Structure 1
């Protein structure tokens, strides 16, 4: 019996991410099961992103941090594709530069893909710069469980900040995924649709947790609405018209103002000086 677990690569597309790339890599390094490799794909950053990654390679020589450059074109999708093409693990984890993986993330992914039928996996997120983080994690998990329940045997969706693909599954769809030059779609939903078109199984894993920033709430209402309606545009681009698939879009639209206010109050409270006792 073969008990060897699949190896997991972590791919991080990065453009001007000097404020978050260090914390992302530290979390990726300190895992209960080490990643096969941690690939940062710098997409012509104009800040110190690449320099920080280089510093971390020197600070953590035992860690499999790899820095590559995608300088042919600007954009998340070509940068993501370049990184996934460079990865050599059995499973390709894809996260954002502001993702902070839970310590057992690689272990959870490897255990999930020990099932040879699993071709894609995703999990919940915890917003680390919001109050009531653990409550938020439970709410995020409940929302995703609900979507999976009502969309049973339809199009399960991956989440770009916390997803993994079997390398053979990526090789199957790599030449088909949308280029989205107009930047109108959700690239992670696009991947989900292409996997579904090939009847490749996506599994939701509650224990596969990643932290991410709620910085999207800093967008104006107009920009946030455009971001959220990418769900609808992605499905329409694939000529998919299933009302149940609008649920995530409606949920994200409804939480904008309450979540924005919570984030504002949390930030204001955190920025207040600490009062110390004394005479």
Structure 2
């Protein structure tokens, strides 16, 4: 048993994932180390909140289940902050509403917290593909994580396959010390998904901020703590690859503006310089043109999104420092 009390926070906004939401909560409750409580935060969907309050407790016998509305800004970051504010546990674990943890997921996630320097722990996410299977736009080698699987919120090639310190946890399955998270101000509500808009990186920014506030702080990846992350049909298209890449670039530019480009892009720099070129050469050498195009498209879309986000940030800063008359568009003198 863990020496820490644990709360699980699950955020949901749509009834389309109802079966996955129920399955995830049931799996956590039946796990080798269930949490003391499960806090379900419904993001601006009153019908879903009513249904969840009536039906979800039955899926987690022996575990207290509380269902509430997001009282913060609409979006995933606001919903997570609402859950953190309501949670009682020393450790707050987070699970996506379309992810199902394996039996020992939470037990493995909690193990690194015996080290008081560890402030956040992340696990691995394995994709559960739709009936159409893995798409050509997300290439990989047999038995390997795909280089572009981050597009669908899953572990990707380039992440450690054994326990290691990392820059940030992955949002679909993570655990963070509540005290440290509250002291840091929680998730930044200018970041994160709102509905189906695929922005993100709020957990990246928080992980970096936790370490910047406390230099000895450690963020640890535990690859054997696994969740199965469902991938819907709409996420295995070329259009989604481009859209998600663009959103990732915009999000990373926002993180860079908040915590500095050095920390914000450290992992991406090695990934761009090493992992993706090897993937491109492999796909070309194997005659898989679609896989090669996917790598190039992901790089181009992400780069374009980062450039656009950076230009928007620069424009905002110029407006903030401009004299009042200039901000209002009036002439001076």
TM-score, normalising length: structure 2: 0.64
Tell me the CA shift for residue 136 of structure 1. Answer: 5.0
Pairs within 5 Å for 1:105-254: 105-129=105-129, 135-136=143-144, 140=155, 143-145=158-160, 156-174=167-185, 177-180=187-190, 185-198=200-213, 199=215, 200-215=217-232, 216-218=235-237, 220-230=240-250, 232-237=252-257, 238-241=259-262, 244-247=266-269, 250=272
1:18 and 1:28, CA in 2 relative to 1: closer, same or farther beyond 3 A? Answer: farther
Tell me the CA shift for residue 141 of structure 1. Answer: 6.8
- For structure 2, list consecutive stretches of 5 or more residues without a partner in the other structure: 135-141, 148-154, 194-198, 281-289, 295-333
Higher relative contact order (CA 8 A, sep 6+): 1
Give secondary structure in 1 for the equivalent of 2:158.
helix
Contact 1:186 1:230 in 2 (8 A): no
Correspondence for 1:24:
24
- Dislocated runs of 4+, deviation >4 Å: 136-139, 181-185, 247-255
Correspondence for 1:82:
82
Tell me the CA shift for residue 11 of structure 1. Answer: 0.5
Contact 1:7 1:110 in 2 (8 A): no
- For structure 1, list consecutive stretches of 5 or more residues without a partner in the other structure: 262-279
The superposition leaves residues 188-211 of structure 1 with CA deviations (integer Å, 9 ceiling, x where unpaired) of 111111112122211111222112
Pairs within 5 Å for 1:68-79: 68-71=68-71, 73-79=73-79
More displaced stretch, 40-49 vs 14-23: 40-49
1:247 and 1:123, CA in 2 relative to 1: closer, same or farther beyond 3 A? Answer: farther
Tell me the CA shift for residue 59 of structure 1. Answer: 5.2
TM-score, normalising length: structure 1: 0.75
Give secondary structure in 2 for the equivalent of 1:5.
coil
Contact 1:127 1:214 in 2 (8 A): yes
More displaced stretch, 34-43 vs 18-27: 18-27
Give secondary structure in 2 for the equivalent of 1:112.
helix
1:157 and 1:217, CA in 2 relative to 1: closer, same or farther beyond 3 A? Answer: farther
RMSD of aligned C-alpha atoms?
3.6
How far, CA to CA, are the matches of 2:48 and 2:200 in structure 1?
A: 29
Provide the aligned length of Structure 1 versus Structure 2: 252
Pairs within 5 Å for 1:41-52: 41-45=41-45, 48=48, 50-52=50-52
Tell me the CA shift for residue 67 of structure 1. Answer: 0.8
Tell me the CA shift for residue 10 of structure 1. Answer: 0.9
Bigger radius of gyration among the two: 2
Give secondary structure in 2 for the equivalent of 1:145.
coil
